[in-house]
Amino acid sequence: MENTYPDGESYVCADCGHEWLQSAATQNDDGDETVVRDANGNALADGDAVVLIKDLKVKGSSTTFKMGTKVKSIRLVGGDHEVDCRMDAGSFMLKACFLKKA
Protein backbone atom coordinates (compact mmCIF):
# COMPACT_ATOMS: atom_id res chain seq x y z
CA MET A 1 0.00 0.00 0.00
CA GLU A 2 1.12 3.55 -0.49
CA ASN A 3 0.88 4.38 3.23
CA THR A 4 3.40 1.80 4.44
CA TYR A 5 6.83 2.99 5.50
CA PRO A 6 10.04 1.46 6.89
CA ASP A 7 10.70 2.01 10.59
CA GLY A 8 14.03 0.61 11.73
CA GLU A 9 13.92 -3.19 11.26
CA SER A 10 10.24 -3.33 10.27
CA TYR A 11 7.55 -1.89 7.99
CA VAL A 12 4.49 -0.09 9.39
CA CYS A 13 1.04 0.37 7.83
CA ALA A 14 -0.21 3.87 8.70
CA ASP A 15 -3.80 2.89 7.83
CA CYS A 16 -4.22 -0.06 10.21
CA GLY A 17 -1.13 0.09 12.45
CA HIS A 18 0.14 -3.38 11.48
CA GLU A 19 3.92 -3.92 11.72
CA TRP A 20 6.03 -6.68 10.15
CA LEU A 21 9.73 -7.38 9.81
CA GLN A 22 11.50 -6.33 6.63
CA SER A 23 12.97 -9.83 6.42
CA ALA A 24 9.41 -11.21 6.17
CA ALA A 25 9.16 -9.69 2.69
CA THR A 26 11.28 -12.39 1.08
CA GLN A 27 11.46 -13.11 -2.62
CA ASN A 28 11.03 -16.41 -4.41
CA ASP A 29 13.31 -17.97 -7.06
CA ASP A 30 12.09 -15.57 -9.79
CA GLY A 31 13.36 -12.63 -7.75
CA ASP A 32 10.43 -10.36 -8.62
CA GLU A 33 7.52 -11.72 -6.60
CA THR A 34 7.20 -11.89 -2.83
CA VAL A 35 6.27 -15.12 -1.10
CA VAL A 36 3.18 -14.75 1.07
CA ARG A 37 3.38 -16.89 4.20
CA ASP A 38 0.64 -17.76 6.70
CA ALA A 39 0.92 -17.56 10.50
CA ASN A 40 2.78 -20.90 10.60
CA GLY A 41 5.26 -19.97 7.87
CA ASN A 42 3.68 -22.04 5.09
CA ALA A 43 3.76 -20.47 1.62
CA LEU A 44 0.33 -19.56 0.26
CA ALA A 45 -0.73 -19.71 -3.39
CA ASP A 46 -3.76 -18.63 -5.42
CA GLY A 47 -6.67 -21.02 -4.93
CA ASP A 48 -5.60 -22.29 -1.50
CA ALA A 49 -8.07 -22.75 1.35
CA VAL A 50 -7.23 -21.07 4.66
CA VAL A 51 -8.65 -20.88 8.19
CA LEU A 52 -8.80 -17.78 10.42
CA ILE A 53 -6.67 -18.11 13.56
CA LYS A 54 -8.42 -15.33 15.53
CA ASP A 55 -11.67 -13.36 15.54
CA LEU A 56 -11.51 -10.44 13.09
CA LYS A 57 -13.77 -7.39 13.28
CA VAL A 58 -14.70 -5.70 10.02
CA LYS A 59 -13.97 -1.96 10.13
CA GLY A 60 -17.08 0.18 9.85
CA SER A 61 -19.41 -2.74 10.44
CA SER A 62 -20.75 -4.85 13.28
CA THR A 63 -19.64 -8.01 11.45
CA THR A 64 -17.05 -10.27 13.11
CA PHE A 65 -15.44 -13.27 11.45
CA LYS A 66 -14.97 -16.01 14.02
CA MET A 67 -11.81 -18.00 14.61
CA GLY A 68 -11.91 -21.27 12.67
CA THR A 69 -13.85 -19.86 9.70
CA LYS A 70 -12.69 -21.58 6.51
CA VAL A 71 -12.09 -19.44 3.43
CA LYS A 72 -11.84 -21.23 0.08
CA SER A 73 -10.15 -20.17 -3.13
CA ILE A 74 -8.06 -17.20 -2.02
CA ARG A 75 -6.30 -14.82 -4.38
CA LEU A 76 -2.93 -13.23 -3.55
CA VAL A 77 -2.49 -9.53 -4.23
CA GLY A 78 0.16 -6.92 -3.48
CA GLY A 79 0.17 -4.62 -0.47
CA ASP A 80 0.07 -5.23 3.26
CA HIS A 81 -3.31 -6.98 3.09
CA GLU A 82 -2.06 -9.81 0.89
CA VAL A 83 -5.12 -12.07 0.57
CA ASP A 84 -8.28 -11.24 -1.37
CA CYS A 85 -11.23 -13.57 -0.71
CA ARG A 86 -14.98 -13.92 -0.95
CA MET A 87 -17.04 -14.81 2.11
CA ASP A 88 -20.77 -14.91 2.80
CA ALA A 89 -20.73 -11.23 3.84
CA GLY A 90 -18.88 -10.07 0.67
CA SER A 91 -15.35 -9.63 -0.64
CA PHE A 92 -12.57 -8.84 1.83
CA MET A 93 -8.83 -8.21 1.99
CA LEU A 94 -7.07 -10.08 4.81
CA LYS A 95 -3.56 -10.17 6.21
CA ALA A 96 -1.79 -13.50 5.91
CA CYS A 97 -0.59 -13.32 9.54
CA PHE A 98 -4.19 -14.04 10.66
CA LEU A 99 -4.56 -17.13 8.45
CA LYS A 100 -3.28 -20.69 8.40
CA LYS A 101 -3.31 -23.02 5.43
CA ALA A 102 -6.11 -25.60 5.59
The pLDDT value given to residue 6: 79
> Do residues 4 and 13 lie in contact, with contact meaning Cβ atoms separated by under 8 Å?
yes
Evaluated on CA atoms 64, 67, 72, 74, the torsion sign reads: positive
- State the 10-residue block means of pLDDT for the chain, 102 residues long: 74 77 55 77 93 91 92 89 89 92 91
Instruction: Please tell me the distance from the alpha carbon of residue 80 to that of residue 48, in angstroms, as a whole number.
Output: 19
From its phi and psi, is residue 71 left (phi > 0), alpha (psi between -120 and 50) or beta?
beta
The pLDDT value given to residue 73: 92
Domain ranges of the chain: 4-101
Cα 94-34-79 angle, rounded to 5 deg = 40
Instruction: Please tell me the distance from the alpha carbon of residue 40 to that of residue 46, in angstroms, as a whole number.
Output: 17
The pLDDT value given to residue 68: 95
The pLDDT value given to residue 28: 44
Which fold, 4-101? SH3 type barrels. (2.30.30)
Evaluated on CA atoms 51, 57, 62, 67, the torsion sign reads: positive
